[in-house]
Amino acid sequence: MTIQKPNSFRSGPDERGHFGMFGGRFVAETLMPLILDLEKAYADAKADPAFQREMDGYLKDYVGRPSPLYFAQRLTEHLGGAKIYLKREELNHTGSHKVNNVLGQIMVARRMGKKRIIAETGAGQHGVATATLCARFGLDCVVYMGAVDVARQEPNVIRMEMLGAKVVPVQSGTRTLKDAMNDALRDWVTNVHDTFYCIGTVAGPHPYPMMVRDFQSIIGTETRAQMQEAEGRLPDSLVACIGGGSNAMGLFHPFLDDPSVEIFGVEAAGHGLDKLHAASLTGGRPGVLHGNRTYLLMDADGQIQDAHSISAGLDYPGIGPEHSWLHETGRVKYLSATDEEALAAFQLLSRLEGIIPALESAHAIARVMDLAPARPSDHLMVVNLSGRGDKDVPQVGEILKGRKK
Amino acid sequence: MTTRIDTRFAELRKQGRAAFVTFLMAGDPDPATSLAIIKALPQAGADIIEIGMPFTDPMADGPAIQAAGLRALKAGMTLNKTLDMVRKFREGDNVTPIVLMGYYNPIFIHGVDAFLTDAKAAGVDGLIIVDLPPEEDDELCIPALRAGLNFIRLATPTTDDKRLPAVLANTSGFVYYVSITGITGSASANATQVGEAVARIKRHTALPVCVGFGIRTPEAARDIARAANGAVVGSALVDALRASLDAEGRATALTVGAVTDLAASLAQGVRGAAQAAE
């Protein structure tokens, strides 16, 4: 198949929600009228200056934006190559980039008069952000979380419950993020009249991939201005981890039409690409799941396969459709990092910079460990530090303790 | 184009009664038992047979049908084996309509053109694909109609009068009215509301309207059959099948009979209803 190079990488999706062959609206009829309503409500909100003003106010005073762009001097010296900057999304309220999107969606939900919010969560970061904003705006909140993830991300489960959310451990299928999304969709089909589904990543039926990307693009927009201030020019490369791909899309999108900027997404290679992993682009092919066509991990018969990653937030057999398109057009280069590489990067960043990254973000750091040394000292590299590692401390602590014995 | 579905509804109209439509998952709990059940269904009173194509992630299905799909997949069921099953059924029955129901991904991976050719050759009459709304008609609906298969659309309580024409535009065979907002096997339908909804749909189409979701007993089947052109029963049959399995989830000597006995009593319910005036 030949891929047509577009005039702009920033103009998608089309009116039917397609990024090339990817995206679309593959949902049950029950949901379709609501999805069309949402598309309209979001278009109205986007065109309303009052909506943007209100968003900006909460982003500044509640979320704590802008998040800093920090020169990681010791990491740079240690790796001996590119000058590494960290975009400090982990300093946002709730500890990750997820809050940027949740704030936007909750404000859209309020415009639509919805009183009940549901969400899926893997690592719990999106669930915590959703629980937080539901508390702030007095909305009912139900979070679906795979039973496996409930066990390995307990601190976030406790946080969600403290914030007043109901956490439902999902027992169906593989009991991880994809099944949490299935059960959230089942809830939505059942309670469509009063419920808003706050999707946590740049996936799902149109308009979600576009809407979530728009809310997350503040990451890249700030980075452009901050790098201009720090160095007087654009960065030379961007690196971000990818599960569904929302933190990556948020950083990448404002730079897609700057050809001088190299862009790298890092998928989770789990135990290795020849074993169990979660690298949909590297190890999957196009299929249809959860409302969109995108790269998926599946068998020869189109049955979805189990993903594996040490990081609950990346443990998903799909990826946002715009990433599939950026992969096929070649604009973004997609790499992967194994569980072991992520663990090493987790420890390295903690020791060198005094920043404990989320295991998700540690996948991006892992690839920086070989991308940076291969580039000159005047090369400016931005890594999205999408979340902090507090939630992973018990899990990583257990793993490391097990190894000392 | 006249399909077995069109022919069957024409016969039922003459008889003045509604259709009893059954749903079971292909390959549940194993391919041989599943085929035996399907073969026995027309004798038990099924007028139209829906066969589920197993999928790992059935987003609109409740626990009963999710579990049925997983049992079938565990028993090695594939899309090709589902088509084989239809082929074998057709060897002994060339009149009972067969509708394949499921999700798009296994078809997309099989290849749409190859699937339509194979399905038509196997003796499939219609398709119900849960995650293909009219907005995605180019994917499978239009090619299926061109290939001579019925494309049966779901209409739901959220499908309002404004949207119905779009939903009905490329629908053929019959309209499947999902009587509740929810997943399969959950709440039960209220016959009065169903009657109103069916009347509303009939203002927009001459197609038969069958109603499903939440029908579990002969009485409920009778009430729905009075209000619509057909009653679809799925989860209740799947539950009866599951209850007949051994501790390891394997078929027992009781399995085929457990399903056909319930089907027969539901069919009696449907036949006991005088058809609502057209």
Q: What share of chain B in percent tops pLDDT 90?
A: 90
For B49-75, the pLDDT digits (tens) are 999 999 999 999 999 999 999 999 999
Determine contact: B104 vs chain A, CB below 8 A: yes
Residue B24 has pLDDT above 60, yes or no: yes
pLDDT of the residue at A305: 93
For B99-112, the pLDDT digits (tens) are 999 999 999 999 99
**Residue B119: half-sphere exposure toward Cβ, Cα within 13 Å:** 30
If you average pLDDT over residues A67-96, what whole number do you get?
98
If you average pLDDT over residues B116-129, what whole number do you get?
98
Residues A51 and A219 sit within 8 Å (Cβ to Cβ): no
Determine contact: A141 vs chain B, CB below 8 A: no
Q: What is the residue-averaged pLDDT of chain B?
A: 95
Round to whole Å and give the CA distance between A193 and B158.
8
Give residues with Cβ within 8 angstroms of A23, minimum separation 6. A12, A13, A16, A17, A206, A209, A292, A293, A294, A321, A322, A325
If you average pLDDT over residues A381-399, what whole number do you get?
95
Angle (deg, nearest 10), helices A154-162 and A125-137 = 10
If you average pLDDT over residues A208-228, what whole number do you get?
98
Q: What share of chain B in percent tops pLDDT 70?
A: 98
- Going from the C-alpha of A148 to that of each of A157, A169, A278, A310, the distances in angstroms are 12, 8, 16, 12
Torsion of CA A51, A53, A55, A58, to 10 degrees: -140
The residue among B181 and B162 whose pLDDT is bigger is B162
Determine contact: A122 vs chain B, CB below 8 A: no
Residue in the block written with tokens 């009485």: B219
For A119-155, the pLDDT digits (tens) are 999 989 999 999 999 999 999 999 999 999 998 888 8
Coil, helix or strand at residue A244 = coil
Residue B19 is given by DSSP the state E
If you average pLDDT over residues A276-286, what whole number do you get?
96
pLDDT of the residue at B276: 47
pLDDT of the residue at B190: 82
Residues B176 and B154 sit within 8 Å (Cβ to Cβ): yes
Provide the whole-model pTM.
Answer: 0.96
Contacts of A190 in chain B (CB under 8 A): 181-183, 186
pLDDT of the residue at A4: 62
Q: Who among A173, A190, A193 is closest to B57 (CB)?
A: A173
Q: Who among B56, B61, B153 is closest to A304 (CB)?
A: B56
For A164-181, the pLDDT digits (tens) are 999 999 998 888 899 999
Q: What is the residue-averaged pLDDT of chain A?
A: 96
- Report ipTM for this prediction: 0.95
The residue among A163 and B185 whose pLDDT is bigger is A163
Angle (deg, nearest 10), helices B31-44 and B255-271 = 30
Contacts of A30 in chain B (CB under 8 A): 60, 154, 156-158, 178, 181
Tell me if A189 and B78 make a contact (CB, 8 A cut-off): no
pLDDT of the residue at B34: 98
Tell me if A29 and B56 make a contact (CB, 8 A cut-off): no
Residue B277 has pLDDT above 50, yes or no: no
Q: Which of A96-105, A332-341, B177-186 has the lowest mean pLDDT?
A: B177-186
Domains of chain B in sequence order: 4-277 (3.20.20.70)
Question: What confidence category does residue A3 fall into, taking pLDDT thresholds of 50, 70 and 90?
Answer: low
pLDDT of the residue at A153: 87
pLDDT of the residue at B278: 43
List % helix, strand, coil for chain A (3-state, nearest 5): 45, 20, 35
If you average pLDDT over residues A327-340, what whole number do you get?
98
- Going from the C-alpha of A342 to that of each of A319, A358, B65, B105, B201, the distances in angstroms are 19, 10, 38, 32, 56
If you average pLDDT over residues B26-45, what whole number do you get?
98
If you average pLDDT over residues B223-246, what whole number do you get?
96
pLDDT of the residue at B134: 97
Question: What confidence category does residue B274 fall into, taking pLDDT thresholds of 50, 70 and 90?
Answer: low
pLDDT of the residue at A2: 54
